[in-house]
Structure 1
Amino acid sequence: MAINTALTLSPTFSDYWQLGKPRVVVVMLVCALVGMLLAQPQLPEIRLMFSALSGIGLASMGAAAFNHLLDRRFDRLMLRTQRRPLVTEKLQPWQVATYASLLSVLGLSLLYFEVNPLTALLTALSLLGYAVIYTAFLKHATPQNITIGGLAGAAPPLLGWVSVSGYVDGQALLLVLIIFAWTPSHFWALAIYRNEEYRRAGVPMLPVTHGLEFTQLQVWLYGWLTVAVSLLPYVVGMSGNIYLLAILLLNSRWLLMNYRVYRNEGAALMQSSRRAFWFSIRYILYCFLFLLLDHYALLLPGFL
Structure 2
Amino acid sequence: MTAAVSTTDTPLNASPARGSIGISRKFKAYLALTKPRVIELLLVSTLPTMIFAQRGFPSIGLILATLVGGAFAAGSAGVFNCYIDRDIDKLMHRTEKRPLVTGEVTPREALVFAWILGAASIAILWFGANPLSAWLGLGAIVFYVVIYTMILKRRTAQNIVWGGAAGCFPVLIAWAAVTNTVEWPAIVLFMVIFLWTPPHYWPLSMRYGEDYRNANVPMLGAIAGAKVVSVQVVLYAWAMVACSLLMVPVGGAGWVYTIVAVAAGAWFLYESHALYKRAQGGDVSNKGAMKVFHGSISYLTLLFIALAVDPFIGSAIVGG
> What TM-score, normalized to structure 2?
0.89
> C-alpha deviations, 1:75-132, integer Å up to 9, x for none?
1011010100001111110000011111110111111122111110011011100112
Give the alignment partner of residue 182 of structure 2, picking from 165, 168, 185.
168
1:99 is matched with: 113
Q: Output aligned runs, 1:106-121, within 5 Å.
A: 106-121=120-135
1:235 CA displacement: 3.6
CA contact (8 A) 1:189 1:261 kept: no
Structure 1 counterpart of 2:9: none
Please name the residue that 1:214 is paired with. Answer: 228
How much does 1:28 deviate?
1.0
Which of the numbers 19, 26, 31 marks the counterpart of 2:33? 19
Report matched runs for 1:184-195 at 5 Å: 184-195=198-209
Which residue number corresponds to residue 145 of structure 1?
A: 159
What residue is the counterpart of 1:67 in the other structure?
Answer: 81
Check the 8 A contact 2:80/2:145 in 1, yes or no.
Answer: yes
Q: How far did residue 156 of structure 1 move?
A: 0.6
String of CA shifts for 1:32-53, please: whole Å, max 9, x gaps. Answer: 1112111122321111111121
Shift of 1:236: 3.1
Q: Answer whether contact 2:184 2:250 (CA < 8 A) is retained.
A: no
Alpha-carbon distance between aligned partners in 1 of 2:245 and 2:126, rounded to the nearest angstrom: 34
2:309 aligned with 1:293: yes
Structure 1 residues 99 and 254, CA gap change in structure 2 (3 angstroms) = same
Aligned equivalent of 2:300, options 284, 295, 302: 284
Matched residues in 2 for 1:252 and 1:298: separation?
Answer: 20
Structure 1 residue 237, shift from structure 2 partner: 5.3
- In 2, the alpha carbon distance for the partners of 1:6 and 1:197 equals 27
Q: Quote the Cα distance in structure 2 between the aligned partners of 1:41 and 1:145.
A: 36
SS in 2 for 1:87: helix
How many Å separate the matches in 1 of 2:15 and 2:251? 56
Deviations 1:181-239 (A, max 9, x none): 11110010111111111111100111333332211110111111111111111243521
- Aligned partners of 1:260 and 1:269 also within 8 Å: no
% same residue: 36
Is this contact kept in 2: 1:158–1:168, CA < 8 A?
A: yes
Relative to the length of structure 1, the TM-score reads: 0.93
In 2, the alpha carbon distance for the partners of 1:183 and 1:5 equals: 39
- Structure 1: where are the runs of 5+ without partners? none
Structure 2 unaligned regions, length at least 5: 1-11
Number of equivalences: 301
Partner of 1:143, secondary structure, is coil
CA distances 1:143-165 after superposition (whole Å, capped 9, x unpaired):
11111112111111110110111
Runs of 4+ aligned residues of structure 1 deviating over 3 Å after TM superposition are 1-9, 265-268
Distance 2:273 2:185 in 1: 30
Conserved in 2, the CA contact under 8 Å of 1:3 and 1:82? Answer: no
Per the alignment, do residues 6 and 203 of structure 1 end up closer, same or farther by CA in structure 2, a change over 3 Å counting?
A: farther
Deviation per residue, 1:6-44 (Å, 9 max, x gap)? 546425110001111112111211211112111122321
Does the alignment pair 1:157 with 2:179? Answer: no
Counterpart in the other structure of 2:54: 40
- Whichever residue aligns with residue 131 of structure 2, its letter is P
After TM superposition, list the pairs within 5 Å mapping 1:197-236 onto structure 2. Answer: 197-236=211-250
Residues 51, 114 of structure 1: 8 Å contact kept: yes
Q: CA deviation at 1:294?
A: 1.6
